[in-house]
Amino acid sequence: MVLFFFAYFALASIASGVMTVSLKNPVHCGLALLALLLHVSGLFIILNAEFLWAVQVIVYAGAILVLYLFVLMLMNLKTDDRYFHSSYLYFLAPAVIGSLYVLALLIRSPFGGAKGDAPAEAVLRDGDTHAVGIKMFSEYLLQFEIIGVFLLGAVIGAIVLAKTPKPANKERKA
Amino acid sequence: MVPLNAYVAVSAVLFITGLLGVVIRRNFIIVLMSVEIMLNAANINLVAFSYYLESMAGQLVALFIIAIAAGEAAIGLAIIIVVFRGKISTNVDEMNLLKW
């Protein structure tokens, strides 16, 4: 059962990722990106990460994607006939060959290592949100604060960049 | 039981797709969307390793990556609006405002 759901979410996310890159109309690309984000959040559910599932749906699909679609509608772009770079064929073949090689290496390699302190039973007992919260506000508090300052800087930067520029400075001209 | 290699393979395929999108697309907004695909691929990897190695650190880093993606989208779209206001095309091969 888990295998079936994994196969569905994996194949659907790869297909929608390819559609995001290859479709012509930018709005269709945005909707394909929405499908990709939702299917990736399905993978998070399989991996016992319910809190990340919620964050993915709320923040990614709810906020970031709406921002993209909003800007797309605002600018009302007309799609050019040539929506790839002129020399994209030079990139395509080496990328496919190289990624097949990397894929073969990844599938064959054994991944392992020291186990941490959060086995699946311990996570499932109190829920993933509890585990994430305990870890974040004990060991990762500094990183959490840094992310807060970063988001503040991003908000101020976006406002400064996107506000209407003032007409030329009159005192200096006079 | 799905092996860890399957998650890593899915993540690698998505990452390559996003990288190709960054390289070959001309529309700047689609390039930003491809960057989001790459960040999602990294998130899949982090959460899968967090599950199989039984540690919460991967999920926390994935959470921070989502926050950084939000900031990146806000700043990138603001830059696109500034460029578009100057009546300049938003195709990445025609934007040469900083070139001299």
- Domains of chain A by residue range: 1-77, 124-163
- Candidates A36, A77, A151; nearest CB to B67: A151
Res. A114: pLDDT tops 90: no
Chain B nearest-CA residue for A47: B51
Residue A92, Cβ neighbours under 10 Å: how many? 14
Q: Where are the domains of chain B?
A: 4-85
φ, ψ for residue A86, nearest 5 deg: -70, -25
Predicted local distance difference test score (pLDDT) of residue B100: 64
Res. A79: pLDDT tops 70: no
Could you tell me where the DSSP H helices lie in chain A?
2-22, 26-46, 50-55, 65-75, 88-108, 120-126, 128-136, 141-162, 170-173
- Candidates B21, B71, B90; nearest CB to A154: B71
pLDDT tens, residue by residue, A19-52: 999 888 889 999 999 999 999 999 999 998 999 9
ipTM: 0.91
Which CATH code is given to the segment(s) B4-85?
A: 1.10.287.3510
- State whether residue A135 sits within 8 Å of chain B by CB: yes
Which CATH code is given to the segment(s) A1-77?
A: 1.20.120.1200
The tokens 């050019």 sit on which residue? Answer: A80
b/e for A49-86, b at 16 or more Cβ within 10 A? bbbbbebbeebbbeebbebbbebbeebebeeeeebbbe
Q: Cβ(A123)–Cβ(B26) under 8 Å?
A: no
